Chains A and B, each alone.
Chain A
Amino acid sequence: MSNRPVEHYVAPVDPADSNEVDRVKLGDRKSNLWIDAWRDLRRRPLFYISVAIVLVVSTAALFPNLFTDVPPNNNCLLANSNGGPEAGHPLGFTLQGCDVYSRMVFGASTSLSVGIFVVMITAVIGIPMGALAAYYGGWIDSLLSRVGDIFFAIPYFLAAVVVMSVLSQHRNVFVIALAIGGFAWASLARILRAEVLQVKNLEYVMASEAVGRSKFSTLLRHVLPNSLTPVIVYLTIALGAAITAEATLSFLGIGLPPSTMSWGNDIAQAQTSIRVAPMALFWPSLALTVTVLAFIMLGELIRDALDPKARANR
């Protein structure tokens, strides 16, 4: 027997805290729904185009003087009625002899503010209606859903026609937004209700209630934030649709008063001389279409980006 010492292997002490073992490695790429969606959006040229259009229109709405120094309303000379383009007036003149380009720029703020107000009204009514109905269920669901059904059953354009006809003395941006948003919220409530119904049965909601968070607080803190995806998509598209609705109502003569500058009013006015001066009709129509398209496209892209199934189908 030799008394040479036997070599034993002793593992070095692992300095890691046992809590650390389960941690995600910091070097890995972070990933969640929103990060994935953002990564997807960044790769799509249409996203940049839509965002650029939205930015340009918003700038025109906030600071119209950056784009033109021709006043849109005064300075109109009937001698210029339906005149073609000339120096300083690149797009020609309207029937009343006003500058088409200037009116196009100044009309942006009307359309955009109607869109934003409609979205705000839709969200303020639709989100509580949908979320409370789905989350509390029972008689609250029955009551809120039936009310929603009633508003949903009236085509919102027709409802806006009635509201605007009756309120002919009070036509302004807020009233028209209320006439559109006051009925458009029912679709949002339905969409959100369906989403909350799915989310409320997930484990983290149960866990939140198990650790003692109140039902309402759980709804605000965990259920709503995780149900907002379809809401964001709907509201983006609704903004575009609201701009169309405002223009259509103004075109019918029950939207904004003719004194308010809006693309719909300009189109309605130019309509009478479509055969002589089609361009006065064309330019505000183009501004309207491009703006609406930008919002709808943005909504569609966000929808695609947030939906893994749609990404796979591409």
Chain B
Amino acid sequence: MLMYVGRRLLQSVPVFFGTTFLIYFMVFSMPGDPVLALFGDKTPNPAVLAQVTAQYNLDRPFIVQYFLYLGNLFTGDLGVTFSGREVSEILSRALPITMKLVLMAVVIEFVLAVVVGLISGLRKGGILDNVNLVTALVLSSVPPFVALFVAQYFIGIKLAWAPVTVGANATWGAMLLPAIVIALTIFVTGMRLMRGSVIEAQSAEYVRTASAKGLTRRRIIPVHIARNSLIPVITNTAASFGGLLAGTTVTEGIFNIPGVGKVLFDAIRLGENATVVSFVTVLTILYVLVNILVDLLYAVLDPRIRYV
């Protein structure tokens, strides 16, 4: 097991270097001088220009810049935003809020996937199964921002059942509506995994044995069928955790939730490229790390996976 963890971590090293390099390369090979942009319409004093260029290491070769940036990254220095605030400081305030939102969305997604998938799988081909599948597909193809607007308009504004925007103190209750909307738009994958494994489990021998022993369906369904069908749903949910962590930009922007996505949302809208890049880099690293954890989780949950 330890060997497996070690190997998996080693494998992710080139991916880590590759992704950060790619993002860095994309930004720095683009046209336009970022230092000149800092001065806006003013013509800068050449001495000041040279000093600022040296301050951001922009006078060094590209590859040196990249490694200096990586070195800062490892010492926890994630750079400075356009307005001069430390990225790491913003992150330490915003990340817990995003975590809260994503955690809530993921739990709701999991429950939806398991319950709906179980209902569909037990009565495969029935009316309820077809209705479930089509509903889930329709929900999954609604673009997220459209779904969020619809929810905000009907539930927030018209019915006033939930706060329209979340605001500074992001409580669990205030973020419930966006979390439900996110869960609804992504639960289709988990639901189909659940449905598929429930269908398979029903004809499995251990289920036949259980009913031959005289157990009631009320016991067989939760204990024998559902429990053994959970593994793919759990790993799928865990994988969507990483994806959501990196993808809350639109949600947090629309519902005004002061998380990581909102920072990115504002930076994008204001055209602060430096902030956009540092946050995208941080989110990508987070996403890579979460995915490694998911892979490890998969190995822990399913004993059939060999740790070689």
Task: State whether the Cβ of B149 lies closer than 8 Å to any Cβ in chain A.
Answer: yes
Q: Which of A155, A162, A267, A296 touches B145 (beta carbons < 8 Å)?
A: A267
A-side contacts of B145, CB under 8 Å = 247-248, 251, 267
Task: State whether the Cβ of B76 lies closer than 8 Å to any Cβ in chain A.
Answer: no
Task: State whether the Cβ of B276 lies closer than 8 Å to any Cβ in chain A.
Answer: yes
A-B contact count (CB 8 A): 129
Q: Smallest distance from the beta carbon of A242 to chain B beta carbons, Å?
A: 11
Bound-state Cα–Cα, A300 to B268, Å:
34
Bound-state Cα–Cα, A168 to B276, Å:
13
Determine whether the beta carbon of B153 is less than 8 Å from that of A278: yes
Task: State whether the Cβ of B84 lies closer than 8 Å to any Cβ in chain A.
Answer: no
Q: Which of A153, A166, A296 touches B19 (beta carbons < 8 Å)?
A: A153
Q: List 11 A-B contacts (CB under 8 A).
A: A146-B18, A153-B288, A159-B280, A162-B276, A166-B27, A166-B30, A169-B32, A248-B250, A275-B157, A285-B143, A300-B137
Q: Which stretch from A6-14, A93-101, A218-226, A287-295 is at the chain B interface?
A: A287-295
Q: Is the interface of A mostly helix, strand, loop or mixed?
A: helix
Given contacts A158-B247, A165-B273, 9 further A-B contacts (CB under 8 A): A147-B18, A150-B18, A159-B280, A248-B250, A267-B149, A285-B146, A285-B150, A292-B142, A296-B141
Tell me the A residues contacting B by CB distance below 8 Å: 46, 146-147, 149-151, 153-155, 157-159, 161-163, 165-169, 240, 244, 247-248, 251-254, 267, 271, 274-275, 278, 281, 285, 288-289, 292-293, 296-297, 300, 313-314
Task: State whether the Cβ of B31 lies closer than 8 Å to any Cβ in chain A.
Answer: yes
Q: Is the interface of B mostly helix, strand, loop or mixed?
A: helix
B-side contacts of A297, CB under 8 Å = 137, 141
Determine whether the beta carbon of A247 is less than 8 Å from that of B143: yes
Determine whether the beta carbon of B143 is less than 8 Å from that of A289: yes
Determine whether the beta carbon of A254 is less than 8 Å from that of B268: yes
Determine whether the beta carbon of B143 is less than 8 Å from that of A161: no
Interface mask (B263-301 → A, CB under 8 Å = 1, otherwise 0): 011001101010011001001100110010000000000
Task: State whether the Cβ of B243 lies closer than 8 Å to any Cβ in chain A.
Answer: yes
Bound-state Cα–Cα, A103 to B30, Å:
33
Task: State whether the Cβ of B215 lies closer than 8 Å to any Cβ in chain A.
Answer: no
Smallest CB-CB A-B distances: 7 pairs = A150-B18, A293-B141, A285-B146, A166-B30, A244-B143, A155-B246, A292-B141
Determine whether the beta carbon of A168 is less than 8 Å from that of B271: yes
Q: Which of B141, B144, B269 touches A248 (beta carbons < 8 Å)?
A: B144
Bound-state Cα–Cα, A69 to B210, Å:
68
Nearest A residue to B138, CB-CB: A293
Task: State whether the Cβ of B46 lies closer than 8 Å to any Cβ in chain A.
Answer: no
Known pairs A155-B243, A293-B137; A166 contacts B273 (CB<8 A): yes
A-side contacts of B271, CB under 8 Å = 165, 168
Tell me the B residues contacting A by CB distance below 8 Å: 14-15, 18-19, 22-23, 26-27, 30-32, 124-125, 134, 137-138, 140-146, 149-150, 152-153, 157, 196, 199, 243, 246-247, 249-250, 253, 264-265, 268-269, 271, 273, 276-277, 280, 283-284, 287-288, 291
Bound-state Cα–Cα, A154 to B265, Å:
18
Nearest A residue to B143, CB-CB: A244
Determine whether the beta carbon of A314 is less than 8 Å from that of B268: no
Determine whether the beta carbon of B268 is less than 8 Å from that of A165: yes
Known pairs A146-B18, A154-B23; A274 contacts B149 (CB<8 A): yes
Bound-state Cα–Cα, A267 to B153, Å:
14
Determine whether the beta carbon of A271 is less than 8 Å from that of B22: no
Determine whether the beta carbon of B268 is less than 8 Å from that of A253: yes
Determine whether the beta carbon of A313 is less than 8 Å from that of B149: no
B-side contacts of A240, CB under 8 Å = 141
Determine whether the beta carbon of A166 is less than 8 Å from that of B26: yes
Determine whether the beta carbon of B246 is less than 8 Å from that of A158: yes
A-side contacts of B15, CB under 8 Å = 146, 149-150, 153
Nearest A residue to B141, CB-CB: A293
Determine whether the beta carbon of B137 is less than 8 Å from that of A296: yes
Q: Smallest distance from the beta carbon of A108 to chain B beta carbons, Å?
A: 15
Determine whether the beta carbon of A155 is less than 8 Å from that of B14: no
Known pairs A155-B246, A162-B276, A296-B140; A313 contacts B199 (CB<8 A): yes
Nearest A residue to B34, CB-CB: A166
A-side contacts of B32, CB under 8 Å = 169
B-side contacts of A254, CB under 8 Å = 268
A-side contacts of B280, CB under 8 Å = 158-159, 161-162
Bound-state Cα–Cα, A280 to B149, Å:
12
